[in-house]
Structure 1
Amino acid sequence: MLSRRWLTGASFVALASVLAATPAWSQAVQLETVVVQGEGGAGNGTGTSAVEGYVADETRTGSKTDTPIEEIPQAVSVLGREEIDDRGAQKVDEALRYTAGVFTQPFGADSDTNWIYIRGFDATQTGTYQDGLQLQSYAFGAYFIDSFLLERIETLKGPASAIYGSSNPGGIVNYVSKRPNGETFKTIEAGIDTNGTGYVGFDAGGSFSEAVDYRLVGRLFGGNGYTDFEEQFRGVISPSITWSPDAATSLTVLANYTHMDLTHSGGTFLPYVGTVVDAPYGKISRDANFTEPDIDDYDRQQASIGYEFAHTFDNNWTFRQNARIGVASIEEAYLYPNGYADLAAGELARVNFSHDTDINSQLIDNQIEGAVKTGELDHTLLGGFEYKRFNIDQIQSSALFGTTTPISAFDPIYGVPQPSGPVSYINQDLTQQQVGFYAQDQIRFGGGWLATLNGRYDHVWTETENRPNFYGLTEDAERDSGEWTGRAGLAYEFENGIVPYASVASFFNPVIGTTGDGALFKPETGEQYEVGVKYKPTSFDGLFTVALFDLTRQNVPTTDPTNIFAQVQTGEIRSRGIELEGKVNLNDNWRLTAAFTTMDLEVTKDTDATIVGNQPFLIPETQASAFVDYTFTQGALTGLSLGGGVRFVGSSYADRANTLKVPDVTLADARIGYTKDNWSADVTVSNLFDEKFVSGCQGELVCSYGEGRKALFKISSTW
């Protein structure tokens, strides 16, 4: 059974008939012709089409309209398919390792989750989107999107609530799906890495008729991982079809099915002593896995279907409606370390954990877009109504404290019977619904001035039904709240391609959880101030961004001083910093990308006065990277590509008191490829010199090793 709950409660709310009507006030102004671009075709023509090389021209992520990246009044990074492939990335978080302002894989190479932090804040659960619709998650209920299915990975940095409603304060990542492009092609790709993980993928597109295009993408992925006992299987298939009965109308249907079955990796949930610093017996092996292989299991079944509809009326106003239904069922059981049971003897304590989680979501976003001219001002107007519903039915369980057997950190023995199995401590059905109304005005005036104004109102309802668990019954709770958010940006576009800009934006992010008296948390709120310069050269294909930001996150849950087992919302964290990023297609041979980020992350309010002024743990304040790829186009070496990159990840703290530090690390990556006719072969290597390092610590008992050297060989053919 795919999920116990396919759809519960209300389904989609459609406003097409209302929004499609021509606004009455538009009769009083002069309409300007709108050129509506189709979604097909190669090149950088729209915010969803393929990116040529490393430099994208337009994005939809920053405004929900096809807008040149340099005109968005916030920093935006776009990874196209070529750049993803040149890195040999098999997951989204691997692909984002060279993106300014983004920190990924703090818990190592986690095979079932893409861990992403933007400007210091966790975007994993509330900051991921697919085709502009949120992939909301909570606890262990999340959607996993295979990177092979994606045409682009786009990152909007800083608050996005004025466009998307509730979301992570540091920014969002939008996955842009592969979709029909009007071309007929077939691609098959196969690869295997040095850990023993292999895959075969296919990507085929074509046309059934002049009005109907299709695309079918899929992959089978599996094998061993780099740690002991680690195994994984992932199968995905994603069909899509576009119907365009005339030049003014299009309907694209996108579907996905994903199945995952794996044994967890090791190398994480390890103590600071034994990873960052020596234990009495030295360092714990990064290959070690302290689960129980006979108990360990992870199973995911996931499906979604959605559509993107667009119609342009005779008055050149365009109505769009994007919708998606998603379901997932995840069952998981494993043992993981929890500090030392006996440090002198080198014995690790363990937690015996399991959960059974079902999630479902329904989303619909209605938009109407058009252009008007008022005097000397040229407006691109966007108005919309969005509805989101997320439901999670979860049971989380753990063996009683002290009943799980310990294990040696240096000479582990597996298969020891566990005295007792997990018992439930959460048995819950939770639903969150959100309705949002928004408006946007992109204004051109004065020969080069660009102003962007956004406003949005959202109302959120959260209800929890808490069923009996091992420890008794927790009372049900519910809360509803409304929030206004906004963004205002101003830029000037010089003829030489330089675009200085400034913006201010606010955000809100509903927090699921309760205070000590059982009341649901209120949403986190805050604002960001950003100034920067974007440069789109006129002499070559490139894009450069410099951004300075000051971001404050309020209503952060922190420990209740009267009850250490409860939380209150009096915390505040500030993130200030600078990001530099450049992407260049210098010519047919050279492609380059480089990034630098440095932040000042600071706890500015907390119930524990001793940590005010400290840096939050886990997140490095400084990162830098550069990657270059060269392709020979003449002579005997024609078709040969050579590439390499360097990544610097700065030091971070392992504890809130800032007494334990995780050292910085510099990593190298490399690539060699060859293309002839319709065949290509590549070898990519990450962590080329096999550096042994700790990727991050979320407290002194939760440290994780970064992945060792991994070489991937892949071969593909297109015809």
Structure 2
Amino acid sequence: MSIRIATLALLVGSSPLAWAQDALTLPDSTVSAKASEPPATALSLDRPLESGSRLKLTARENPASISVADRATMERIGARNFQDAANALPGVNASAPPGWGGYVAYRGFNGAQVSQLFNGVNLHYGGSARPVDAWIYDRVELLGGPSSFLNGSGAVGGSLNFVTKLANRDEEHLEARLGYARYDTREAAIGFNRALNQGPGPRHYARLDFSRNDSNGYIDRQERTAGNLAFSLLSDLSERLSHTLAIEYLEEQEDSPYWGTPVLNPQQGRLRIDRHQRFSNYNVEDGRYEQRTRWLRSITDYRLGERTQLRNTFYHYDGQRDYRNLERYRYSTDNTTVERLGAYRQRHDQEVNGNRLELTHAGTFLGRASDWAFGLDYNRNSQTNYPLSISALFDSVTPGRFEPDRFLDIPGMAAPRSKGRSTRTDTTALFVENRQALSERLALVSALRYDHIDFDVTEHASGNHLERRWDALTGRAGLVYELNDSLSLYSQYSTSAEPPGGTLTSASIAQVSDFKLGTGRQLEIGAKLDFLDGRGAATLAAYRIVRKDFPVTDPNNANGTIQAGQQTSEGIELASSFAITPQLLASGNIAWLKAEYDDFNESVGGVVISRKGKMPVNVPKRTANLWLTYDLAPAWQLGADARYVSSVYANNANTMWVPAYTLYGLFVRHDLDEHTELSARLRNLTDEVYARFIHQSNTQYYLGEPRSLELALHMRF
């Protein structure tokens, strides 16, 4: 193990129970910053959760690895967007290189193999998961391993669910935040939750959250502006009937987006960059990324009886994304000039409409508790893209001394916009879930889901059209045994179904014409416990996942593909939170992973080469997080944090890699009065130069943020 990860372990202490999870809230814990409220009081595994089950099981009752970064956690770790929150969860490595949107590696899988959902809805397109500023989000939930039984096709590696704030009956509050950081990064946010009326009859509660962020960016010429709005209205229409209307809107614009830093030649072994050009931007002057998204949800809850409840959720999503960039850069053989190529202009128009009906019932069977969930889900996911790309060389420039030029200077990029491909995916699903108590301490949790998928794709340039249909049956079965009131053990078997091509939303005819659904299966065992009279909590999970039937190069035809691939991932995840003293909290997580291809062929220069035994690209073998928080006085809090990510491979041959990195941070927080909090946070304390992502096709580092200082004023009334 490297010196860096060993340093992390020493910081936590020799006991594995010191590895923590405040910032990931085991699975939904919150930790107060006040010394008068010891953090350990909130570390409960017995809070009902929506993630991992439609029965709202607690973490202790669920036979699965579940982690949650809630609102208090996001504030404690200084999460600026939901990807920062996701990276606080065990084993997750998320980044946002342009063109990929939200890129997540987890349990040996990446891209579309890890589902990203918004309030339980899967848009089935990675570009839709661009990291949104954290202010409007209530929590980020993580479910490990195959989870098609819960969220539909995909999710062989796991599911991330980003959950926005909603109006509630619990409290009335007004809060605001002002922030400023290096690179002229500015944040302004406001939010409130209010009861709109009093007295008898229907009661109404409203919530509004808004944030705006602007930044000049740590890369030359890269500027970003984003605004987020979330509004919800909760109406208790009667004692049995309530309705929630939720609307979210995001607008984001990034000028001259950073597409990565080219690596030096020779491109082999440990990849290197010219650190003197660390902040150089090789995109054109007027490069652009824009995103506009709208969400609408109508949620109706009706209580049929004390034990039976009906919920109907209608959801609508509309998103438009625009790209206009020069994306690929490579050094000349002698590393004196950089060649710029890969001009790309694209628009995505995506719309999703759906409805989910759920019935839950808490009953008994053979004298034991037996809880049920039944449901029907239908949605239509439509997308049309308008692509224009030219892969030819545009120019060669001298690093540090060049004019970026403009997009229309690239020959051929002024052509009128025209449709490229349109897809429509209709999915109808039936699902059932049950928790059956077998004894006072032993329970069986099972789920089954059937998906019928109707898909059609039109390639407008050629006029080709294809219709396909697939049927998938997925599920899970797990046992939970409560050894005592503090410790539970579990085991589970779960399966997944994966669309050919990874995601149907952007699939071409060639990717789906002759292929069936891929499959995944997982065996997982684990434990969840409280210890030392509630001062700490911990979770442990060990798993083995096998993914089958994904496209690989035909060994008999280097220009063709067949569906025969297989990948195996095995790993261990440990997370814990421990109040060492009433003032000092240690929290964090660590994950070890072994992932390799069992059957995977790649065409290289027209020659078919087996990659058996090789590891997928951009998948770290180890990740670790650590947070230490000390309540110096009732109005003062100090903290330190560290994050370690091991090296990752940059190609399927595993002959190129980027080095591991460790990031350190410090923060101090002071309560000016009972309503106002002032904080300062130093990120990347050692100014580490590191790659959050490596572009495989163009071999470019996507560099992470350098050292920066952030000041924030947070007011609550």
- Secondary structure (helix, strand or coil) at the match of 2:610 reads helix
Could you tell me how far 1:103 is from its partner in structure 2? 1.2
Could you tell me how far 1:46 is from its partner in structure 2? 14
Deviations 1:629-684 (A, max 9, x none): 1224xxxx421111111111112211111111222112112211112310001112
Could you tell me how far 1:147 is from its partner in structure 2? 1.9
The TM-score with structure 1 as length reference comes to 0.86
User: Which residue matches 1:30?
Assistant: none
User: Which residue matches 1:130?
Assistant: 118
Separation in 1 of the partners of 2:583 and 2:451? 48
Separation in 1 of the partners of 2:685 and 2:267? 21
Deviations 1:217-272 (A, max 9, x none): 01111121100001011111111010113343221111011111111442616336
* Gap change, CA 1:411 and 1:352, over 3 Å in 2: same
Q: Is the 8 A contact 1:477 1:520 kept in 2?
A: no
1:190-205 map, 5 Å: 190-205=178-193
- Tell me if 1:507 matches 2:496: yes
- Tell me if 1:460 matches 2:453: yes
User: Which residue matches 1:617?
Assistant: 617
Of residues 648, 655, 677, the one that matches 2:651 is 655
Separation in 2 of the partners of 1:280 and 1:216? 47
- Tell me if 1:233 matches 2:220: no
User: Which residue matches 2:594?
Assistant: 600
* Gap change, CA 1:49 and 1:316, over 3 Å in 2: farther
Of residues 321, 324, 339, the one that matches 1:348 is 339
User: Which residue matches 1:10?
Assistant: none
Of residues 676, 679, 696, the one that matches 2:676 is 679
User: Which residue matches 1:105?
Assistant: 95
User: Which residue matches 1:59?
Assistant: 49
- Secondary structure (helix, strand or coil) at the match of 1:628 reads strand
User: Which residue matches 1:704?
Assistant: 702
**With CA pairs under 8 Å and 6+ residues apart, which has the higher RCO, 1 or 2?**
2
- Tell me if 1:119 matches 2:107: yes
The TM-score with structure 2 as length reference comes to 0.86
Aligned-partner residue type, residue 691 of structure 1: E
* Gap change, CA 1:601 and 1:49, over 3 Å in 2: closer
Aligned-partner residue type, residue 228 of structure 1: D
- Tell me if 1:84 matches 2:74: yes
- Secondary structure (helix, strand or coil) at the match of 2:53 reads coil
Deviations 1:597-630 (A, max 9, x none): 1111101112345310111121111112211212
User: Which residue matches 1:37?
Assistant: none
Q: Is the 8 A contact 1:355 1:397 kept in 2?
A: yes
Aligned-partner residue type, residue 443 of structure 1: Q
- Secondary structure (helix, strand or coil) at the match of 2:284 reads coil
Separation in 1 of the partners of 2:583 and 2:268? 42
Could you tell me how far 1:562 is from its partner in structure 2? 5.7
Q: Is the 8 A contact 1:123 1:171 kept in 2?
A: no
Separation in 1 of the partners of 2:26 and 2:90? 23
Of residues 386, 397, 406, the one that matches 2:388 is 397
User: Which residue matches 1:261?
Assistant: 253
Separation in 2 of the partners of 1:287 and 1:680? 34
- Tell me if 1:305 matches 2:296: yes
- Secondary structure (helix, strand or coil) at the match of 2:342 reads strand
User: Which residue matches 2:712?
Assistant: 714
Separation in 2 of the partners of 1:401 and 1:497? 63
Aligned-partner residue type, residue 123 of structure 2: L
- Secondary structure (helix, strand or coil) at the match of 2:101 reads coil
Deviations 1:162-221 (A, max 9, x none): 112113211111112111222211111011111211110011011112411110001111
Percent identical residues:
20
- Secondary structure (helix, strand or coil) at the match of 1:168 reads coil
* Gap change, CA 1:69 and 1:358, over 3 Å in 2: same
Separation in 1 of the partners of 2:402 and 2:266? 15
- Tell me if 1:148 matches 2:135: yes
The range that moved more, 120-129 or 269-278, is 269-278
* Gap change, CA 1:628 and 1:248, over 3 Å in 2: farther
- Tell me if 1:576 matches 2:570: yes
- Secondary structure (helix, strand or coil) at the match of 2:420 reads strand
* Gap change, CA 1:65 and 1:710, over 3 Å in 2: farther
* Gap change, CA 1:614 and 1:518, over 3 Å in 2: closer
Could you tell me how far 1:85 is from its partner in structure 2? 1.3
Could you tell me how far 1:563 is from its partner in structure 2? 5.6
Deviations 1:101-124 (A, max 9, x none): 2111274xx699332222122256
The range that moved more, 373-382 or 54-63, is 54-63
| TM-align CA RMSD | 2.9
* Gap change, CA 1:702 and 1:474, over 3 Å in 2: farther
User: Which residue matches 2:236?
Assistant: 244
Deviations 1:358-416 (A, max 9, x none): 100012211111122122421011111111221111012112523x2233345333227
Aligned-partner residue type, residue 589 of structure 2: A
The range that moved more, 330-339 or 266-275, is 266-275
User: Which residue matches 1:23?
Assistant: none
Instruction: Count the aligned residue pairs.
Output: 663
Aligned-partner residue type, residue 281 of structure 2: N
Separation in 1 of the partners of 2:710 and 2:374? 46
Separation in 2 of the partners of 1:74 and 1:278? 37
Separation in 2 of the partners of 1:265 and 1:102? 25
Separation in 2 of the partners of 1:227 and 1:242? 43
Q: Is the 8 A contact 1:514 1:567 kept in 2?
A: no
Q: Is the 8 A contact 1:654 1:696 kept in 2?
A: no
1:299-448 map, 5 Å: 299-314=290-305, 316-399=307-390, 401-402=392-393, 404-415=394-405, 417-421=409-413, 427-448=420-441
Separation in 1 of the partners of 2:404 and 2:135? 36
Separation in 2 of the partners of 1:565 and 1:638? 67
1:416-565 map, 5 Å: 417-421=409-413, 427-468=420-461, 473=462, 475-511=464-500, 512=504, 513-514=507-508, 516=510, 519=513, 521-537=515-531, 539-540=533-534, 542-561=536-555, 564=558
Aligned-partner residue type, residue 362 of structure 1: N
Separation in 1 of the partners of 2:356 and 2:580? 38
- Secondary structure (helix, strand or coil) at the match of 1:670 reads strand
Separation in 2 of the partners of 1:315 and 1:493? 27
- Secondary structure (helix, strand or coil) at the match of 1:181 reads coil
Separation in 2 of the partners of 1:517 and 1:162? 24
* Gap change, CA 1:412 and 1:291, over 3 Å in 2: same
Aligned-partner residue type, residue 708 of structure 1: P
User: Which residue matches 2:635?
Assistant: 639
Deviations 1:274-309 (A, max 9, x none): 899899994462211110113x11222211110222
Q: Is the 8 A contact 2:91 2:622 kept in 1?
A: no
- Secondary structure (helix, strand or coil) at the match of 1:70 reads coil
The range that moved more, 247-256 or 428-437, is 247-256
* Gap change, CA 1:123 and 1:659, over 3 Å in 2: closer
Q: Is the 8 A contact 2:148 2:475 kept in 1?
A: yes
